């Protein structure tokens, strides 16, 4: 039973990268008023209690002129993250829809911003479409080391068996790329949906030897993907799955951003805009739709990377600390 001195905080849960409740990727959002300070341990305990892939702590809107801005902390059940995609889009949909309602705005695009550990994020919210678009922090770094076919086979027994039977063709090595420091993915292209269906969670977490100095303290996940024919307007279409040991994630905005950025660096041209539509979570029964746009720089590299999606509220309540 809560004591009389317990902190009471409002929360909501939402499903992200979907317009359908109980699809997409669930997210818990905890409101933190200006007069309350939570320790790292308190935030971690709350995130562990929700037991979702991520929980965000939404600090009350900062006062002053300019765009509406909020500080947001992102926690997994085991650690804080500098950036994650579905918490960014979900929290943006949640707070900017509230902001629009409070201001009596029923159409058009609202601009705002988040301050997260990886840096500032510019936001746009389409009030009528109920979609958020985030110019995400990015410093895409392709590591010198790669992940071998042997590494993949050791963690994915069904793929290994199919490869031995020549039912699936596996590449000799796979690239390892970080979207920002602290968020790294092994990008594993498979040839078709059948191969993607053989992917499974595993007791063996991915381990990459020889990550580049300064980038080696990081979360590492395996992002499996299959390419489909491009749309008539050139939009690239992909199906994906994200596996990190025993965890499968139904929508991983950071991994989708990492993959889109990596492919754009390989295939993009200066000043080109490349669009991606990624579907994830199908095998989990939580289909998620992730949109991205990558704007290439005038000379080399990526100028801006936009992540976009929708969200729907599922629950609300109050917790005690």
- Active-site residue list: 54
DSSP tag of 237: E
**The two three-digit tokens of residue 45, written as one number:** 């305990």
CA distance linking residue 309 with residue 125, whole number of Å:
10
Residues 6 or more apart whose CB falls under 8 angstroms from that of 122 comprise 111, 113, 134, 135
**The two three-digit tokens of residue 251, written as one number:** 């929508």
Contact 67, 111 (CB under 8 A): yes
Q: Which burial class, exposed, middle or buried, applies to 105 when counting CB atoms under 10 A from its CB (0-12, 13-18, 19+)?
A: middle
Contact 224, 185 (CB under 8 A): no
Q: Which burial class, exposed, middle or buried, applies to 242 when counting CB atoms under 10 A from its CB (0-12, 13-18, 19+)?
A: buried
223-233: string of b/e by CB count within 10 Å (b at 16+)? bbbbeeeeeee
Residues in the chain: 321
**The two three-digit tokens of residue 257, written as one number:** 């951003």
Contact 234, 272 (CB under 8 A): no
**The two three-digit tokens of residue 105, written as one number:** 């705005």
* Biggest distance spanned by C-alpha atoms of the chain: 65
- Angle, CA 23 vertex, CA 22 and CA 24 arms, to 5°: 130
**The two three-digit tokens of residue 1, written as one number:** 């039973």
């Amino acid at each position: 039973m809560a004591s009389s001195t317990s902190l009471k905080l409002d929360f909501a849960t939402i499903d992200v990268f979907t317009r359908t409740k109980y699809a997409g990727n669930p997210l818990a959002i905890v409101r933190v008023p200006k007069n309350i300070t939570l320790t790292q341990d308190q935030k971690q305990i709350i995130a562990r209690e929700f037991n979702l892939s991520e929980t965000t702590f939404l600090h009350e809107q900062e006062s002053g002129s300019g765009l509406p801005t909020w500080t947001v902390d992102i926690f997994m059940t085991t650690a804080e993250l500098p950036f994650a995609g579905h918490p960014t889009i979900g929290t943006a949909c949640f707070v900017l829809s509230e902001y629009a309602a409070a201001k009596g705005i029923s159409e058009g695009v609202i601009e705002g911003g988040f301050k997260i550990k990886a840096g500032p994020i510019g936001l746009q919210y389409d009030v009528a479409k109920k979609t958020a678009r985030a110019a995400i922090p990015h410093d895409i770094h392709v590591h010198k080391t790669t992940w071998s076919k042997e590494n993949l086979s050791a963690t994915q027994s069904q793929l290994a068996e199919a490869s031995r039977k020549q039912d699936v063709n596996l590449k000799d090595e796979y690239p390892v790329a970080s979207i920002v420091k602290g968020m790294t993915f092994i990008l594993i292209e498979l040839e078709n949906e059948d191969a993607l269906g053989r992917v499974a969670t595993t007791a063996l977490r991915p381990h990459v030897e020889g990550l580049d100095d300064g980038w080696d303290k990081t979360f590492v996940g395996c992002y499996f993907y299959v390419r489909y024919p491009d749309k008539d307007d050139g939009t690239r279409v992909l199906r994906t799955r994200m596996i990190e040991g025993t965890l499968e994630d139904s929508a991983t905005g950071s991994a989708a951003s990492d993959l889109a950025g990596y492919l754009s660096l390989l295939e993009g041209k200066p000043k080109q805009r490349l669009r991606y539509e990624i579907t994830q979570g199908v095998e989990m029964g939580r289909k998620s739709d992730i949109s991205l746009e990558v704007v290439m720089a005038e000379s080399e590299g990526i100028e801006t990377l936009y992540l976009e999606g929708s969200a729907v509220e599922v629950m609300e309540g109050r917790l005690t600390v």
